[in-house]
Structures are given as C-alpha cells and as structure tokens.
Amino acid sequence: MLEISDQPLDVAAVLRQVEAPGAGAVNAFVGTVRNQAGGRPVRRLHYEAYMPMALRQLEHVVAETRRRWPMLQAVAVAHRVGTLVIGDVAVVVAVSTPHRAESFAACQFLIDTLKQTVPIWKREEYEDGTEWVAAHP
C-alpha cells in the first residue's frame, strides 16, 4: 500500500498491511509533527505533494528497497498532506521481513530515500511567519 492522503493516517492500519505468515519481523517508522524546529516553536505544518510524481517516485523507492533486500515480504507507506498540528502523524513506513536486522535496515533506507527523492514539501508556521523547510542552504 502506497498512499498520499489529506486525511489523518491510521498507524495500526498501515502496520496491518505488512503482516505476512513468513514475516517474523516488522519495523515501522512514524514521523510526527514536533512542537519546535531548531529551537523555534512550531504552530502548524503545511505539506504539499506533486501528485502523481510523488506516487511514481515512491514506487521507485520501494522497488530499490526490494532490490537491496530481496527477502522483503511487504511494504506499506502512507504520507499525509495538508495542514497538520503538533503530534499529527505525517508519515508511516512499515516493512516486514523474515528476520529482525533486515527489517530495521530496509525501513531506514526506505524513509531516508523517501525524504531525498519524493516530491513533497513542507512549510513550517511559527508565531511570526512561515518557512519552506530545507529550501535554502
């Protein structure tokens, strides 16, 4: 399941997607909205995605993860877009593998690569303005 949605994400539902009888290990990463960024209080976050490129690039990330970890059983990714407040879930990545170590490595590769290549942007809203995250060096 690869999903980009403006509705609240259901973490448990994403985890259920990767259950498999041959998978003894599930690793999941959940990214949530923090109350601050670099010490500056954050009020809200605004996410936008370029669909369908985001889904296409997400497919590439999953394909590359499967190429590197051929024993991967199942993968599920859900990313939220729209306006999020503190504590809201922005992204859920879950993988299942036969053994433990691979589940950590594959999940970490997947979220790291997603953050580098999938065209999603976020704008942080502070008390006194907003800023596009990572836009400038």
Partner 1 sequence: MTPESLPATQPALLTVLLFGITRDIVGQSSLSLPMPADGTVGGLFATLRARYPALAALRSLAVAVNSEYAFETDPLHPHDEIALIPPVAGG
Report the residue number, 53 or 63, with the smaller CB distance to partner 1.
53
Residue 31 identity (one-letter amino acid): G
Q: Which is nearer to its own copies, 25 or 49 (CB)?
A: 25
CB 93 within 8 Å of CB 80: no
The beta strands (E) that lie in the chain are given as 2-5, 25-32, 36-37, 40-41, 44-49, 74-80, 82-85, 89-97, 120-126, 129-132
Residue 2's binding partner among its own copies, partner 1, none (Cβ under 5 to 8 angstroms by kind) is none
- Binding to its own copies (CB under 8 A) within 94-113 occurs at 98, 100-101, 103-104, 107-108, 111-112
Q: How far apart are CA 39 and CA 50, in angstroms?
A: 29
Does 23 engage in binding with its own copies (CB under 8 A)? yes
The answer to the question of residue 34 lying near its own copies (CB under 8 A) is: yes
Q: Which is nearer to its own copies, 10 or 53 (CB)?
A: 10
